[in-house]
């Protein structure tokens, strides 16, 4: 698994070289609001699912309150945590995403060393329902862009998702080869709940 991860980082680094040949970036909304890009505290929250890597929680990612989130069309915090309480034994809540809604995390900094993100999800309704996951980032002109990074098929019970690649880390806009991003979750044809959104800070180990 270590060799695969090193190969992934090498490919991402190669892509970053290509992308950064373009003109210098203009500061946009995410760059201006990325106030804290320090190394966060990480932990092996997915170790019981045979994922030994360290992760850090996204802003608001524990979904214990709406602070840090941008919520649209009925998305809200509700009672009921993911089954394993990986964010803390006292956690009691999660994010409800009704059909037609969306929820976007606060801004965090990622880089070439942040290759993946994952979280917990469960489908509340719609046998054919899926959950779309996007990364929101700035283009070189400062305009906000989004990029699909995964689709959750899920089940009616809480499950950890697969790791999804944080492809926007190919576009460093801040010192230290970092990019300010947000993660957006949008249900398709049904209702979902999500909880404990984490990013793998591989370069900090």
CA-wise closest residue to 168 among 4, 34, 2, 3 = 34
Burial class (CB in 10 A: 0-12, 13-18, 19+), 174: middle
- CATH among 3.20.20.70, 2.60.120.260, 2.30.30.190, 1.10.357.10 for 2-204: 2.60.120.260
The predicted structure's pLDDT at residue 35? 59
The predicted structure's pLDDT at residue 186? 98
Domain ranges of the chain: 2-204
The predicted structure's pLDDT at residue 136? 93
* Residues of the chain where predicted confidence (pLDDT) is lower than 70: 1-36, 38-39, 169-170, 173, 175, 201-205
Distances (CA, A) of 22 to 15, 28, 112, 171, 180: 12, 16, 18, 10, 18
Report how far residue 136's alpha carbon sits from residue 173's, in angstroms, rounded to the nearest whole number: 14
**Residues near 68 by beta carbon (within 8 Å), at least 6 away in sequence:** 59, 60, 105, 106
| pTM score above 0.85 | no
């Amino acid at each position: 698994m270590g060799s695969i991860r090193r190969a992934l980082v090498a490919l991402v680094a190669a892509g970053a070289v290509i992308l950064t040949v373009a003109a210098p970036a203009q500061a946009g909304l995410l760059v201006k609001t990325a106030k804290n890009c320090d190394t966060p505290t990480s932990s092996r929250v997915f170790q019981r699912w045979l994922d030994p890597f360290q992760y850090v929680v996204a802003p608001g990612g524990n979904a214990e309150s709406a602070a840090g989130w941008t919520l649209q069309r009925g998305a809200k915090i509700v009672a009921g945590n993911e089954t394993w309480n990986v964010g803390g034994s006292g956690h009691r809540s999660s994010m409800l995403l009704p059909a037609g809604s969306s929820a976007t995390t606060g801004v965090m900094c990622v880089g070439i060393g942040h290759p993946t993100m994952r979280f917990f999800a469960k489908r509340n309704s719609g046998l054919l329902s899926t959950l779309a996951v996007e990364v929101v980032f700035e283009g070189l002109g400062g305009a906000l862009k989004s990029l699909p990074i995964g689709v959750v098929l899920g089940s009616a019970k809480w499950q950890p998702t697969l790791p999804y690649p944080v492809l926007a880390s190919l576009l460093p806009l801040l010192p230290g080869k970092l990019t300010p991003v947000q993660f957006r979750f949008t249900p398709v044809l049904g209702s979902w709940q999500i909880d404990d959104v984490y990013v793998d800070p591989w370069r900090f180990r």
